[in-house]
């Protein structure tokens, strides 16, 4: 009996030890191994997914394209059926693409997605029936390799992290339309290969203080438009909030304020095509960002991101057929359009009243500057109703042409058209065509560098119908194609993120020929003598514009621009429009 008692005790100890071993996570992440204090390095992330792919046929990891860092971009796919042909997958499943580490200091999504993939393959999370999961595990590799402990001044952990800029110091979440970086060009390649129905970009917020760990930033629903935009705003967003509420995770819209208390109300962020969700919306993809709160503990932020991703996976899986059907319908809805909005403004007549959980804000006297400063008192939480302004309206639009014609020499633009799978043909012979022609009349330019450019804005044009000789090899780009919104947003010069505003066509803004005043004086005098209307216009301008009247060179230049010597290419926009209803060559 004594022997039996000792044996049972030993077996009990072994069983307890085995249970403890079983409780350890299989395929642990660096986040777990550090008790939630550390984020994985780039090489640890890649190795983690390689090990998963070796053990589980549902996981596929591949390298696609280059980045400015010299390292390739990875794409990791989870499909319970263990097939990875995206053309075939798209026929019967929705595809959810998660982009992580666009700002590697905001590393929550990197770790949370590793947990999500691991939990799916080991059976901790039920596998989706109708959704295939794809992730770019670390998008900004150069920034991730630039690891430090100090560049996120406002952030509570992890212990070390990557840097916001990429290897060339670009903010990649401003680069999707202009694609200056190899990272962005490879993302474009992945995006058009995968063709996701839903896209998530993971971030950490800067800004005000409040009770929430989680906030969401859905692509602006009015801009997305139609049934797809209505579904995003009225069904997907509420379903996400409800799902997280059931798991005791409160979430708020992204708090779009700067140095003022959010309970006074705030507006939805307008995601133009330079941003990830603004770009993906051009292709009728339902896009959203998760923004965790910078001041919350790192482990809490990763846990919240993990729960957010699980909730979105469930919604995508449940609504799979609906999402696919709406996406298919959206691909041809442009055939009923006559005009396309090119500028938006907040619709102040429409607001949404939401409950907001904040901290009491106060204005104190700064000990540093001596001026007033904002302060939040975490000992005084509150819940109040506030106004959320999430409706936008178009304030300018353009009539949609039948096609664009782009001169063949603009190779930097043509490269991006090719990268984005835009269909076009080239003229087979020199041809005279009737087209709508734009002249750039006005524009403003930032007086500081912005993402490698001096960005134009408030662009204004004049337009005329002209007969123009085009050359063999010039591009004819029909508008009736899936990339219609991409074409309108980039080729119409007055849109916020047009190729013109991003400096792709800046060489047209400079004159290449001029005049010598002592010679042109005689020509100018002859012009005024022979043209009564010109003389009247000239005298009227001198009378009404005192600065002009006091500048002899400006007067000669004004007349030069009215003369036959003035070069037609100056300010001539090199993209032409074939009007709707005209035959496309």
Q: pLDDT tens for residues 114-155?
A: 999 999 999 999 999 999 999 999 999 999 999 999 999 999
For residues 92 and 232, state if they share a domain: yes
Query: In terms of Cα–Cα distance, which of 555, 574, 425, 560 is closest to 508?
Result: 574
CB 76 within 8 A of CB 117: yes
CATH number, residue 296: 3.40.630.10
Tokens of 277: 């969700």
For residues 63 and 179, state if they share a domain: yes
For residues 388 and 403, state if they share a domain: no
Phi, psi of 245 (to 5 degrees): -60, -40
CA 288/CA 219 separation, integer angstroms:
6
Looking at 247-363, list the stretches that DSSP marks H as alpha helix, in order from N- to C-terminal side.
276-281, 298-318, 320-330
For residues 380 and 420, state if they share a domain: no
Tokens of 144: 């991730």
Tell whether 216 is covered by a domain.
Answer: yes
Sign of CA dihedral 120, 125, 127, 130: negative
Per-residue pLDDT 10s for the chain (585 aa) are 454 454 444 445 554 454 444 555 689 999 999 999 999 999 999 999 999 999 999 999 999 999 999 999 999 999 999 999 999 999 999 999 999 999 999 999 999 999 999 999 999 999 999 999 999 999 999 999 999 999 999 999 999 999 999 999 999 999 999 999 999 999 999 999 999 999 999 999 978 999 999 999 999 999 999 999 999 999 999 999 999 999 999 999 999 998 889 999 999 999 999 999 999 999 999 999 999 999 999 999 999 999 999 999 999 999 999 999 999 999 999 999 999 999 999 999 999 999 999 999 999 999 999 999 999 999 999 999 999 999 999 999 999 999 999 999 999 999 999 999 999 999 999 999 999 999 999 999 999 999 999 999 999 999 999 999 999 999 999 999 999 999 999 999 999 999 999 999 999 999 999 999 999 999 999 999 999 999 999 999 999 999 999 999 999 999 999 999 999 999 999 999 999 766 667
Query: In terms of Cα–Cα distance, which of 183, 181, 145 is closest to 162?
Result: 145
What predicted TM-score, i.e. pTM, was given to this entire model? 0.93
For residues 262 and 240, state if they share a domain: yes
CA 371/CA 363 separation, integer angstroms:
10
Tell whether 16 is covered by a domain.
Answer: no
CA 402/CA 399 separation, integer angstroms:
10
For residues 284 and 389, state if they share a domain: no
Tell whether 241 is covered by a domain.
Answer: yes
Determine how β-strand 431-445 pairs with β-strand 456-470.
antiparallel
For residues 496 and 532, state if they share a domain: no
For residues 382 and 466, state if they share a domain: no
Give the three-state DSSP class for 530: helix
Find the domain containing 546 and state its range: 517-561
Domain final residue pick, 343, 374, 393: 393
Tokens of 564: 């036959």
Q: Which residues contact 63 (CB under 8 A, 6 or more apart)?
A: 72, 73, 74, 75
Tell whether 584 is covered by a domain.
Answer: no
CB 178 within 8 A of CB 453: yes
Angle between helices 298-318 and 320-330 (to 10 degrees): 80
Q: In what order do the strands lie in the sheet with 72-78?
A: 59-66, 72-78, 131-136, 94-99, 198-205, 286-293, 214-218, 251-253
For residues 388 and 459, state if they share a domain: no
Query: In terms of Cα–Cα distance, which of 490, 198, 172, 489 is closest to 344?
Result: 489
For residues 86 and 184, state if they share a domain: yes
Number of domains in the chain: 4
Per-residue pLDDT tens digits for 430-472: 999 999 999 999 999 999 999 999 999 999 999 999 999 999 9
For residues 200 and 278, state if they share a domain: yes
Sign of CA dihedral 262, 264, 268, 270: negative
Q: Find where tokens 């102040």 sit.
A: 348
Q: Which residues contact 334 (CB under 8 A, 6 or more apart)?
A: 400, 479, 480, 484, 485
CA 466/CA 319 separation, integer angstroms:
50
For residues 387 and 275, state if they share a domain: no
Tell whether 347 is covered by a domain.
Answer: no
Tell whether 224 is covered by a domain.
Answer: yes
CB 131 within 8 A of CB 89: no
Tokens of 578: 């074939």
- Listing DSSP states for 404-439 in one string gives EEE-TT-HHHHHHHHHTT---EE-SS-EEEEEEEEE
Specify the pLDDT at position 259.
84
Give the three-state DSSP class for 110: helix
CB 310 within 8 A of CB 125: yes
Tell whether 342 is covered by a domain.
Answer: no
Query: In terms of Cα–Cα distance, which of 288, 245, 305 is closest to 36?
Result: 305
Tell whether 313 is covered by a domain.
Answer: yes
Domain final residue pick, 344, 368, 393: 393
């Amino acid at each position: 009996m004594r022997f039996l008692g000792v044996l049972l005790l030993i077996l009990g100890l072994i069983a307890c030890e085995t249970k403890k071993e079983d409780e350890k996570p299989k395929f642990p992440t660096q986040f777990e191994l550090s008790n939630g204090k550390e984020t994985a390095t780039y090489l640890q992330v890649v190795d983690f997914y390689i090990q998963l792919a070796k053990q589980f046929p549902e996981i596929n990891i591949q390298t696609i394209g280059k980045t400015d860092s010299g390292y390739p971009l990875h794409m990791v796919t989870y499909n319970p059926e263990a097939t990875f042909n995206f053309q075939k997958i798209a026929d019967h499943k929705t595809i959810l693409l998660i982009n992580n580490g666009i700002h590697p200091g905001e590393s929550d999504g990197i770790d949370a997605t590793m947990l999500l993939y691991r939990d799916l393959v080991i059976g901790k999370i039920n596998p989706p029936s109708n959704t295939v999961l794809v992730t770019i595990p670390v998008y900004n590799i150069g920034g991730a390799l630039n690891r430090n402990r100090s560049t996120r001044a406002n952030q509570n952990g992890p212990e070390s992290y990557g840097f916001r800029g990429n290897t060339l110091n670009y903010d990649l979440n401003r680069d999707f339309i202009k694609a200056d970086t190899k990272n962005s060009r490879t993302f474009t390649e992945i995006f058009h290969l995968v063709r996701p129905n839903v896209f998530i970009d993971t971030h950490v917020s800067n800004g005000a203080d409040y009770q929430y760990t989680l906030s969401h930033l859905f692509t602006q629903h009015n801009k997305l438009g139609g049934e797809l935009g209505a579904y995003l705003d009225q069904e997907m967003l509420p379903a996400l909030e409800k799902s997280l509420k059931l798991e005791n995770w409160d979430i708020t819209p992204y708090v779009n304020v700067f140095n003022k208390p959010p309970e006074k109300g705030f507006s939805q962020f307008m995601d133009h095509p330079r941003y990830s969700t603004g770009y993906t919306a051009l292709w009728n993809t339902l896009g959203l960002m998760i923004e965790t709160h910078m001041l919350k503990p790192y482990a809490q932020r990763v846990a919240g991101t993990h729960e957010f991703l699980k909730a979105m996976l469930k919604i995508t899986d449940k609504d799979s057929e609906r999402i696919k059907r709406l996406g298919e319908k959206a691909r041809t809805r442009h055939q009923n359009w006559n005009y396309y909005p090119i500028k938006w403004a907040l619709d102040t007549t429409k607001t949404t009243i939401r409950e907001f959980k904040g901290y009491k804000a106060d204005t104190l006297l700064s000990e540093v500057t001596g001026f007033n400063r904002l302060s939040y008192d975490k000992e005084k939480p509150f819940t109040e109703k506030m106004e959320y302004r999430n409706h936008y309206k178009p304030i300018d639009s353009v009539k949609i042409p039948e096609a664009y014609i782009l001169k063949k020499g603009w190779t930097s633009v043509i490269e991006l058209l090719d990268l984005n799978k835009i269909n076009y043909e080239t003229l087979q012979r020199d041809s005279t065509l009737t087209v709508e022609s734009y002249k750039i009349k006005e524009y403003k330019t930032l007086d500081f560098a912005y993402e490698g450019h001096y960005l134009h804005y408030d662009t204004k044009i004049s337009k005329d119908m002209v007969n123009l000789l085009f050359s063999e090899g010039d591009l004819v780009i029909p508008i009736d194609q899936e990339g219609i919104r991409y074409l309108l947003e980039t080729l119409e010069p007055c849109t916020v993120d047009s190729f013109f505003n991003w400096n792709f066509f800046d060489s047209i803004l400079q004159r290449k020929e001029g005049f010598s005043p002592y010679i042109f004086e005689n020509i100018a005098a002859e012009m005024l003598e022979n043209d009564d209307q010109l003389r009247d216009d000239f005298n009227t301008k001198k009378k009404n514009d005192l600065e002009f009247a006091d500048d002899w060179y400006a007067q000669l230049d004004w007349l030069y621009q009215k003369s036959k010597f003035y070069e037609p290419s100056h300010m001539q926009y090199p993209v032409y429009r074939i009007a709707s209803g005209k035959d496309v060559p």
